[in-house]
Amino acid sequence: MEKQILHIDVNNAFLSWTAVEMLKQGSKIDIREIPAIIGGDETKRSGIVLAKSMKAKECGIRTAETIYQAKIKCPGLQIFQSNFKIYRKYSDALYNLLLQYTDKIERFSIDECFLDMTNYLMKDNLLNKAKEISKRVKEELGFTVNIGVANNKLLAKMASDFTKPDKIHTLYQEEIPTKMWPLPISELFMLGKKSVPKLYNLQIKTIGELAKADKNMLEKKFGKHGIMMWEYANGIDNSEVKYKKELPKGIGNSITLPQNITDIKKLEEIVLALTEQVTYRLRKYNLLANTVNVQLRTKNFEDKSHQGKMLLATASTKEIYQKAKELLEQMYQKGMAIRLVGVRVDNLIQKEEQQISLFKNEENEKQEKLDKAIDALKEKYGYNTITRAGKMQVGDILKLKDIE
């Protein structure tokens, strides 16, 4: 099976995150729309530009030049101090949103992530997921991202670096000759600055020329790095998305609907589909949930959520769905048009921590065995091979991510 990889890159992260935080604190000015930079102490001539707005860029200001030089170019320049506490806050917010799509996330830097979606797609394609993520980041977090869509990390990274900001680009193997090969070799990921002039001396100036160069010659000139350069120029990369296996504090899943829904029966089907995925992940982690939360967003972007406590900690799809359905019915008002639905479980404990209770009965044990049997079949034949009767029609309404 071909890998399904996304690379998410926040546009102008430090300046964007500062702008979002300032707007939340009541600022009337969006510093992304004025000549502004993020830099060090402006009283020191050695302070440098860490990030710049488009207006500042139009003034000729460059990243890494001194603030002193930047102010000469743009006398009205607004300067803001770097604040890594704010950057970490928004980096974590992005990461937590992405966790709703896959558990396999590599935080490549504070503003970049690789996502392995290979086993997390359900009757959907990678480009659609990229569009959904891009839209949600903009609407829910207030900043924009570039997203690269490809079958390996290298091509996803290269794609996300194409035109910016707020863009989604694909780079599949068949697109390499037209999208990647015409680029200068300096644009190739992981190509060191020292290698560029050496390649120029060999009359290799584009990625395409590097891809067609003699591999043995490159190995003699550059050693193992020469082989890597040739492979990257040809789009070859077998590296895995490196992710940490951590027990989650909560597990959630939400979906922005392709059209607003007013029928509560259809909303119940969607809640069931979301619950099934959430509980599947719960059981994979060998965790039990004490709390269930259902979120609704109306067509007017009003957010509503209800939370309920389970009688017993559980990973049962049936029990958690019953609670989620109750919460939905408490929130929903007739005629309300819903554009987003989410289900989340919290206050998780490891199964070994579960206390023996008088409430646990034969019915609970039967349900647990049924869930395990369904999980085993999904593991063997794929997540989509079995579906519950209550959500048979939901595939026509939405497309959800798959689970590994």
CA separation (Å) from 11 to 14, 21, 134, 144, 153?
A: 9, 15, 11, 6, 19
Contact between 316 and 256 (Cβ < 8 Å): no
Kindly state the DSSP code that residue 45 receives in the 8-state scheme: T
Average pLDDT, the chain: 87
Amino acid 61: pLDDT: 95
- When mean pLDDT is compared across 181-185, 236-240, 243-247, the lowest value belongs to 243-247
Amino acid 398: pLDDT: 46
Distance CA 177, CA 91 (A): 34
- pLDDT (tens digit per residue) in 152-209: 999 999 999 999 999 999 999 999 999 999 999 999 998 988 899 999 999 999 999 9
Distance between start and end Cα atoms, the chain: 13
Residue 357 tokens, joined: 């209770």
Of the two residues 381 and 243, the one the predictor is more confident about is 243
Instruction: pLDDT band for 244, please (50, 70, 90 cuts).
Output: confident
Amino acid 392: pLDDT: 42
- When mean pLDDT is compared across 55-69, 77-91, 157-171, 242-256, the lowest value belongs to 242-256
* Beta-strand pair 5-10/105-109: unpaired
Percent of the chain at pLDDT > 70 equals 85
Residue 18 tokens, joined: 């500062």
Q: Is 201 exposed, middle or buried (0-12, 13-18, 19+ CB in 10 A)?
A: exposed
* Residue 265 scores a pLDDT above 50: yes
Amino acid 313: pLDDT: 92
Taking residue 270's Cβ as centre, other Cβ atoms within 10 Å add up to 22
Instruction: pLDDT band for 380, please (50, 70, 90 cuts).
Output: low
The mean pLDDT value for 106-135 works out to: 90
Instruction: pLDDT band for 396, please (50, 70, 90 cuts).
Output: very low
Q: Out of 2-16, 242-256, 301-315, give the one with best mean pLDDT.
A: 2-16
Active-site residue list: 112
Query: Hey, what domains does the chain have and what are their CATH numbers?
Result: 15-84 (3.40.1170.60), 181-233 (1.10.150.20), 251-396 (3.30.1490.100)
pTM score: 0.72
The mean pLDDT value for 285-304 works out to: 92
DSSP per residue, 264-318: HHHHHHHHHHHHHHHHHHHHHTTEEEEEEEEEEEETT--EEEEEEEEEEEE--HH
* Residue 356 scores a pLDDT above 60: no
Contact between 271 and 324 (Cβ < 8 Å): yes
* Residue 360 scores a pLDDT above 90: no
The mean pLDDT value for 74-92 works out to: 93
* Residue 32 scores a pLDDT above 90: yes
* Beta-strand pair 287-298/338-350: antiparallel
* Residue 402 scores a pLDDT above 80: no
